[in-house]
Structure 1
């Protein structure tokens, strides 16, 4: 299918970029010599923007303030692609000399762009293409723009925040930070202040009216700051660390008002505010989390199959554009968060049709397992492989593989299951039967209970005791009638029972039989010892005979040799 639907906390997310592209469909049809006319995946495909992809991966995606153009950068080779939302197709493509670390949109459309490249070059583009290029002393990490003074601000692997005046066309005096490296910048248009975050967890606020540092704060015991931003009001500030921690601050207070933890503990790469739903969206390499801005409750989450570089939230909508570590850019639509953008309002009609004919829910063919369940299946060696997908606090495994591992781990589970079913059915049938209770007199039960100890030993019972004591009941095994009835016992010779009954009624055995048995055992032991001695003596004689014969042969050979010499 060309789309997938995931549901977390009852919120549906439509992945509109999950299917194949048009060139891929055409290649497969050419190989199989089949027509796309009857291909259901091709007929139900959703391609939001044509050619919305790069050869290898995408680094960054941004939408212009007028919402008419989407600017993207990717590799390989390093390229810039600009898409027009009115036509839902590519406007232009430009190649650059080195990989783009970050870019800033300087105007309402794509007519003015600034790109920070990995070779320390800052490249300026206009509508017609490349306009100018300059160089900074250190490798850039982030770039932002102050529209009131026309200053381009660049953070790098140094203590300085470089400033370029685009009005005067020259470098201005840099801001000197307390951080050794500055990772991120964010400009507040409402208050005309600049926020910077760097190593050692230092967050600094610069007042652009006085060109001086206004405040300095250490974030959570020195965790490195990887991203920071302001909301649309300019009063709420958000910062993300390299350990997956996101904190919200009111700029009028020192302590954070909200804290969000990412369980993967990976660096935060993007944070955005959604004003209508009062949600804050943050992402790391694995997951995009959407939390409520007031209480921190999880709204939903998105986990793409590939790594996340950055994402862009389309203004006043529920559409997310994600730059991923794969050729195609991700497009995710969340109707419960907000409506579709104006330039693709047809998405709402499509999602309604998809809900009516929903047939492809993601993870239907997967089994969710925790780490303890993996240990029971003896499948911990699959961690890190393509057979396990990390999901929430556990892993996803294909049902076919799970069933095979389950059969190997417990071969008799199905048999036990069948036996338990049979037992349950039998017990249910027995319970459904009408059982009749027999009425018994209480006096009889009490008499039996009192006489229970008397009948423990039947030999002491007067009714049977005479059979074991009276000689008239004894069996004479030498009698002709007895031997005629038991011919096998007659061949064994005369045997006595040697059993008796004592006064208490217990059976016993005569000592004479035990004495005879002991004598026989002793005779057998003596015979075995004699046989062992005879065998040992024979073996010694054989060894001596071998030695003598060998020595005699040597003597004869010597004599024959002497006779020949003579």
Structure 2
């Protein structure tokens, strides 16, 4: 599936060959092994089975229910009917003459009306060709009026009175009625009443506003547009706008007030039926005759107009004529069909394969090929830097930076295109490596840096400014540090029920209250009202042994001292020391609420100064007493090292 981007609109080619004449079947079978290695061939999308003809296709239309696609082509002249839910060809039917155009009279394919190139009008049913009638002169187009059940056929040449004719055949009565008479000029080549010369004047095209006022419009070779009201028994022609060249395409808008007119000079004009002046003029740009015009509505309810000549299909804005999307197949276009309420366009063209284009911004894919939406999304995520698989587009400054400007005009590896050149991918890679041999290391360092920055950003704790209780908000956000992304609206911060907790001053947490101190014993409140955790210092002499540290605080006047009771890791009982003289260690908290403050057991032991002095004297005497040393002189040494005895 090929993707082309015009501005911001992507167009996907989901059916149709890249060239007009692909490999024949017998050659494809011989190259079956080599085609297995071709990624483009293996990843091809076959939208409909046998979606094409042996030589060319002439006209294509989709049924109103969306289940059938009918197309005509050659050679031999035939009609193909595809059943879309099965994505397959239902049947094909051969005819005796090449089809000019056809219409589907029912909501499916069972009733169709065909205008043939041999001046015949054929009626086809579900099983076969039902009836054939001949026309007095060659027909150019086919219009069907559902309200009066009339088939209108614009024709070539002049009648006995020197006017152009639109033949009317009533399908209810089964007979021709009086024709519409239109002034198309004079034929200087032959006499009046004959078929006419090669350049005989004619009525080229027609359209009908069947959903609104029901007027029919016909374009002539004289550049005029004639309007008829089929509700009256006698036709009343009204002269319309004048065009440069012949009028080759017409189409009413959904409202019936706007009419798009295309000419043989490649000019499209947009008219309001209430004004003789054109609202908008658009040039197709190729100089070929406009073959088809169509009013479209995108998925976002924007009004667009489709104009097609034999080379390009363009979609542009109805209000200002700004280009929106374009398609240019490699073969000439004969007819374009739009599947309503979708973004798919199908074409009949001068090639074996019929084309199908999908524009996601125009609408979704049809329900019978909804799998295309997933494929389009995957292709949209891929970032493509090259226009073609084997070429890279470079401007002249890019070529000079790679020292390739001396090859301009001397080799096929540089192909000029617009303001730059297409360079072969192999040559581009080699030149880039020579110009910057450290490109790989720089790219690797860039990738590593991006990854480090991404991980670093995930570790940064989020912040959120609130009016009240900022410390509580920071505490809630700190709990999310281990997450990949900090969410400032998670939990209480994002719950509307707790919104006043961080906005209303009446809900401010009083950190100096008794309730706050009892719930947060490790928080110290300064005189200014700010809180800070208590700073505790540990004696360096007791880091390894875990012994007690005496407090430097003075005793109170009553002789009562607050101490902390703790135990060593080795199981030895430690002395009581003053509270705050050593760092608190984590441990299991007692569940007895009577003596629990924080994580330590606190007791108040009354002591006298005399007893303390007596204990200090006894301790000093024990430290001063000489320790008796045991003699090991007579013990035999187990070591064979004689130097240890020296």
- TM class, shorter-chain normalised? 0.5 to 0.7
CA shift, 1:87, in A, is: 1.1
Q: Give, in whole Å, the separation in 1 of the partners of 2:255 and 2:29.
A: 55
Q: How does 1:145-544 map to 2 (within 5 A)?
A: 145-158=144-157, 159-179=164-184, 180-189=201-210, 190-210=212-232, 211-220=234-243, 222-275=244-297, 276-357=301-382, 362=387, 365=391
Local SS of the residue matching 2:278: coil
1:227-268 Cα shifts (integer Å, max 9, x gaps): 101122222111100001111112222212121111111100
Unaligned runs of 5+ in 2: 158-163, 185-200, 396-407, 436-646
Q: Give, in whole Å, the separation in 2 of the partners of 1:153 and 1:173.
A: 11
> Does the 8 Å CA contact 1:59/1:74 hold for their aligned counterparts?
yes
Q: Give, in whole Å, the separation in 2 of the partners of 1:397 and 1:227.
A: 39
Say if 1:395 and 1:70 are closer, same or farther in 2 by CA, change over 3 A.
Answer: farther
Question: Which stretch of the first structure deviates more once superposed, 348-357 or 358-367?
Answer: 358-367
Local SS of the residue matching 2:222: helix
CA shift, 1:361, in A, is: 6.2
Say if 1:42 and 1:359 are closer, same or farther in 2 by CA, change over 3 A.
Answer: farther
Say if 1:40 and 1:122 are closer, same or farther in 2 by CA, change over 3 A.
Answer: same
Over the aligned positions, Cα root-mean-square deviation in angstroms equals 3.4
1:70 and 2:69 correspond: yes
Say if 1:89 and 1:131 are closer, same or farther in 2 by CA, change over 3 A.
Answer: same
Q: Give, in whole Å, the separation in 1 of the partners of 2:223 and 2:207.
A: 16
Q: Give, in whole Å, the separation in 2 of the partners of 1:42 and 1:112.
A: 38
Q: Give, in whole Å, the separation in 2 of the partners of 1:26 and 1:101.
A: 29
CA shift, 1:395, in A, is: 11
Local SS of the residue matching 1:142: coil
> Does the 8 Å CA contact 2:387/2:393 hold for their aligned counterparts?
no
CA shift, 1:355, in A, is: 2.4
Say if 1:19 and 1:227 are closer, same or farther in 2 by CA, change over 3 A.
Answer: closer
Counterpart for residue 429 of structure 1 = none
1:94-126 Cα shifts (integer Å, max 9, x gaps): 111111111111111111111111110111100
> Does the 8 Å CA contact 2:77/2:99 hold for their aligned counterparts?
yes
Counterpart for residue 79 of structure 1 = 78
Say if 1:19 and 1:202 are closer, same or farther in 2 by CA, change over 3 A.
Answer: closer
Counterpart for residue 410 of structure 1 = none
Say if 1:301 and 1:130 are closer, same or farther in 2 by CA, change over 3 A.
Answer: same
Bigger helix fraction: 1
Q: How does 1:93-132 map to 2 (within 5 A)?
A: 93-132=92-131
> Does the 8 Å CA contact 1:366/1:396 hold for their aligned counterparts?
no
CA shift, 1:213, in A, is: 2.6
Q: Give, in whole Å, the separation in 1 of the partners of 2:33 and 2:332.
A: 34
1:292-321 Cα shifts (integer Å, max 9, x gaps): 111111112111111111111110111110
CA shift, 1:83, in A, is: 0.8
Q: Give, in whole Å, the separation in 2 of the partners of 1:264 and 1:173.
A: 39
Q: How does 1:132-147 map to 2 (within 5 A)?
A: 132-147=131-146
CA shift, 1:18, in A, is: 4.7
Local SS of the residue matching 1:34: helix
How many residue pairs get aligned? The number is 386
CA shift, 1:138, in A, is: 0.8
Q: Give, in whole Å, the separation in 2 of the partners of 1:396 and 1:181.
A: 47
CA shift, 1:76, in A, is: 0.9
Q: Give, in whole Å, the separation in 2 of the partners of 1:202 and 1:395.
A: 42
> Does the 8 Å CA contact 1:63/1:70 hold for their aligned counterparts?
yes
Q: Give me the TM-score of the superposition, normalised by structure 1.
A: 0.63
Counterpart for residue 560 of structure 1 = none
Say if 1:95 and 1:259 are closer, same or farther in 2 by CA, change over 3 A.
Answer: same
Unaligned runs of 5+ in 1: 370-376, 380-387, 404-413, 419-566
Say if 1:133 and 1:280 are closer, same or farther in 2 by CA, change over 3 A.
Answer: same
> Does the 8 Å CA contact 2:65/2:108 hold for their aligned counterparts?
yes
Say if 1:212 and 1:33 are closer, same or farther in 2 by CA, change over 3 A.
Answer: closer
Q: Give me the TM-score of the superposition, normalised by structure 2.
A: 0.55
